[in-house]
Chains A and B, each alone.
Chain A
Amino acid sequence: MTEVRTYRRPMPADWWTRNPSYVVYMLREASAVFFFVYALVLLWGLYTLTQSEAAYDGWRALLATPAMIAFHAVAAAFALLHTVTWFMVLPKTAPTLRLGGRIVPVAAVVVVGVGASAAISLFVYAWVAGLLPPGLAEAVRNLVPPGGAS
């Protein structure tokens, strides 16, 4: 066979800026960095807890600084983006879901997934912040075994 001479166009380092789909992908990947740093901050807090009350208070004071608040705001935005895009990708990475012989529509998986994760997040937040309605708070308290966390 005759060898055809071809031209291979280079792939520039900024390839991902050319298309919104690639930008979203890169942001989703970049979110890992923020989760990692967030986890470190949290672990550090746990560590100060094992040290002394002053160390723990120092960590809490640090969290209230504008830089830390800004970091957490950005990390939260990335977490939101990651959650939503993760559920958008889920139907494509998991085996096809069938219900009664029919393929479950992609949109349903995404909506149910994002909805459930939002509901659980809200519930946990309300619980920790003491905002649960009294009846529900009572029910949750009863779930904790006696002698467990209060």
Chain B
Amino acid sequence: MTDTRTIRIEALRFNPETDSAPRLQRYDVPFTPDMSVLQGLQYIKDHLDGSLTFRWSCRMAVCGSCGMMINGRPHLSCETFLRDLYPGPVRVEPLDHFPVQRDLAIDQAGFLDKLAAIKPYIVSAKDKPLSEGPSRQTPAQLDAYYQYSQCINCLLCYAACPQFGLNPDFIGPAALSLLHRYNLDSRDIGWSVRADVANAEVGVWECTVVGYCSEVCPKGVDPMHAVNENKVNSALDYLGVKRLLGGR
């Protein structure tokens, strides 16, 4: 017999069709030690209130869709366990700084536009036919960008960034980390096409080094480092020496 306890989950509710402002709703949820906050929410949806809206997909910290504020901190709800929050209550809210679409689901459209703006793909010097085989990379070349390629677009870093909260136009930690990821790739020549985004007022210079983004990132991407290393690049670019030093 597994040991089942009960914990109170307080969820922020917002229905755009009927509500003018969000409100908190409380649910008492029985849970076993192996249950995540996401599973607690699924219990609510299956047994207590089918109208509760939230996103998830992989349930294993890979897809990045289940991010939410849990007791005021950004977390992936699939890797946050109810047993660690016992006796509760557990307050779940949509990610900070984003417009709330419904209940715990935020509107990601602004982020997706920013992601598209940084050209998150390899910009290569020439079209290489498949017949030429793969582009080889040394372990050191892979190592140069590997950490930044681990981003799962969960947006926890945006919820941690007061600068993004104050200015929603800020390109922000994850998009700038991915910008860095592609710039660091030996197969990519896209620095100059991404430079406008990095150099803009809402680019790397909007960051005031709060650093909480890197603390909450579940994948060890260290977005703060990516952003601030690009302040150096942006300054070199401004002085015109970036290209001299081998910037592509």
Q: Which residues of A contact B (CB under 8 A)?
A: 4-9, 11, 15-16, 18-19, 21-22, 25, 89, 91-96, 101
| Bound-complex Cα distance A22 to B100 (A) | 23
Number of interface residues of B (CB under 8 A): 32
Q: Among the interface residues B107, B162, B228, which one has the most CB atoms of the partner chain A within 10 A?
A: B162
Given contacts A89-B211, A92-B214, contact A6 B101 (CB under 8 A): yes
Q: Is the CB of A22 within 8 A of B212?
A: yes
- Across-interface contacts of B16 in A (CB, < 8 A): 4-7
Q: List 24 A-B contacts (CB under 8 A).
A: A4-B107, A6-B99, A6-B100, A6-B101, A7-B19, A7-B22, A7-B100, A8-B99, A8-B100, A9-B96, A15-B165, A16-B162, A19-B72, A19-B73, A19-B212, A21-B211, A21-B212, A22-B210, A25-B209, A91-B225, A92-B211, A92-B228, A93-B229, A96-B225
Question: Is B54 at the interface (CB under 8 A from chain A)?
Answer: no
Q: Which residues of B contact A (CB under 8 A)?
A: 14, 16-17, 19, 21-22, 72-73, 96-97, 99-101, 107, 140, 160, 162, 165-166, 209-212, 214-215, 222, 224-225, 228-229, 231-232
How many Å from the CB of A80 to the closest CB on chain B?
A: 19
| Bound-complex Cα distance A84 to B106 (A) | 37
Q: Among the interface residues B14, B21, B212, B232, which one has the most CB atoms of the partner chain A within 10 A?
A: B212
- Across-interface contacts of B72 in A (CB, < 8 A): 18-19
| Bound-complex Cα distance A93 to B234 (A) | 13
| Bound-complex Cα distance A8 to B224 (A) | 25
- Across-interface contacts of A89 in B (CB, < 8 A): 209, 211
- Across-interface contacts of B209 in A (CB, < 8 A): 25, 89, 92-93
| Bound-complex Cα distance A105 to B52 (A) | 44
Q: Is the CB of A101 within 8 A of B21?
A: no
Residue in B22, B162, B222, B231 whose CB lies within 8 Å of A22: B162
Given contacts A9-B22, A92-B211, contact A15 B99 (CB under 8 A): no
- Across-interface contacts of B212 in A (CB, < 8 A): 19, 21-22, 25
- Across-interface contacts of A92 in B (CB, < 8 A): 209, 211, 214, 222, 224-225, 228
